[in-house]
Amino acid sequence: MSRPYDSIDAEQLQQDADEYLLSYGTSYHREIITSTDGIYVETHTGHRMMDFTSGQMSCLIGHGNPEVVQVIYEHAQHLDHLFSGMISPPVINLAKRLTSVTPDGLDKAFFLSTGGESNEAAIRLAKFYTGKFEIVGLAASWHGMTGVSLGAQYHAGRAGYGPLMPGNLVLPSPNAYRSIFRHADGTYDWKTELDYGFDLLDKQSCGSLAAVILEPILSSGGMLELPPGYLKAMKEHCVKRGMLLIIDEAQTGLGRAGDMFAFTHHAEDKSVVPDILTLSKTLGNGLPLSAVVTSNSIAQHAKENGFLFYTTHINDPLPAAVGAKVLEIVIRDDLVSRSQQLGVKLQAGLRKLQSRYGCIGDVRGRGLMAGVEIVADRKTKVGAPEVGNAVARKMTEMGLWAQLATIESFGGVFRIAPPLTVTEQQLDKALAIMEEALRTTPGTQPLYSSEDNYRGTPCYDTK
């Protein structure tokens, strides 16, 4: 069966890209991507790579999933887009299905296109409900590129564009690997760090604290996990100040991190339910679909007082139908448990590599969502982005795509997030490629003995 771009003039397309495409802040992959299927992306030269970032951390159940393709086909024919004041069965079905798996207190939803848009709506809703305007984010956060969501984002994108939305304040990110807040025994003292952060907030605030927005795992910030008990302590701080808690599960939602929703993971945080939950990326499996979910009480206040967030593509039927199908597959095929189980295997494999290569300073994450931090020295923890880039290039050549975050403040962290449909064999192959890339790249600091010379002792077989 032929595919749309089996035959292309790659040189001409590259010239056209240079001439006609506006840069948006990233360098393009050196080859043009012409096909995706399952866990693979393929370039114009026929080079196939296992996609261990699930596109932009989105294709939760793989590229071209046949059931999703069928839903798109049917709705493109018969129920694609409507006037924003109309509702359709797919939208109602997705709202019902989604709120049936969220904890009590997350009762009503509407649907937008991107994660930035859903965070924009969530923050706007929090301001409307509280009557206040100050929004607090974490220092390594990423929430989107629209005005209000960008104002609450501190990882990147703030400099060079003039004033941001007024009333944005920041808390230190809970980075167990790098934080200077330590107990006497050297372990991470996140509670003192959080209390100290709020003490500074109280001094800066003009008395209009509306909400905190945070991710359960700060992906763009370096795959930083919130410590056990952190959300409970955060919620207590919010309640004390009359603030709402917004949780952004763009990347962690629907099983990616081994739980249906990552904020429910730790026993210490079981009682915590956000006032507003946002979803995107994984919900649409790569199609532009996001959600804002909140409580009956907040929803009622919004309805009675005329809350406005009216967009061209709000509650569109086609993406909503895809979201309902994605959620159906996740539940039907028990992909949350699969993510949890394969995540144990993934973490064990990455830690085995850490035991063999000194450039791996830290391994973190949960489920099929992992971070590998590349450093030049484990004692000083100084980053080694040049080594990480070289390893990444080697992995790409060998058929594995995993993104390296090279912003200097994080030293260079591989973000690893394959589809939940990845097989154990594919996971083994990916780990084997990672090991071979580490073994053959200068500067990775092998820890095995020179006498061994690696004969017959790899962690994984690349065949």
Active site residues: 142, 215, 248, 251, 281, 415
**403: part of which helix (H) or strand (E)?**
strand 403-405
Pairing of strands 290-294, 276-279: antiparallel
Spatial distance between the Cα atoms of 214 and 246, rounded to a whole number of angstroms: 7
Q: In angstroms, how far is CA 446 from the centroid of its own chain?
A: 30
Contact 251, 284 (CB under 8 A): no
Spatial distance between the Cα atoms of 133 and 114, rounded to a whole number of angstroms: 23
Residue type, 402: A
Q: Residue 222 is encoded by which pair of tokens? A: 């370096």
Q: How far is CA 309 from CA 56, 108, 313, in A?
A: 26, 15, 11
Q: In angstroms, how far is CA 186 from the centroid of its own chain?
A: 29
Spatial distance between the Cα atoms of 79 and 76, rounded to a whole number of angstroms: 6
Residue type, 30: R
DSSP three-state, residue 237: helix
Residues 6+ apart with CB under 8 A from 397: none
Spatial distance between the Cα atoms of 384 and 348, rounded to a whole number of angstroms: 23
Spatial distance between the Cα atoms of 72 and 318, rounded to a whole number of angstroms: 7
Residue type, 27: S
Burial 253-285 (b: 16+ CB within 10 A, else e): bbbbbbbbbbbbbbeebeebbbbbbbbbbbbbb
Longest dimension (CA), the chain: 75
Category of 223 on φ-ψ map: left (φ > 0), alpha (ψ -120 to 50) or beta: left
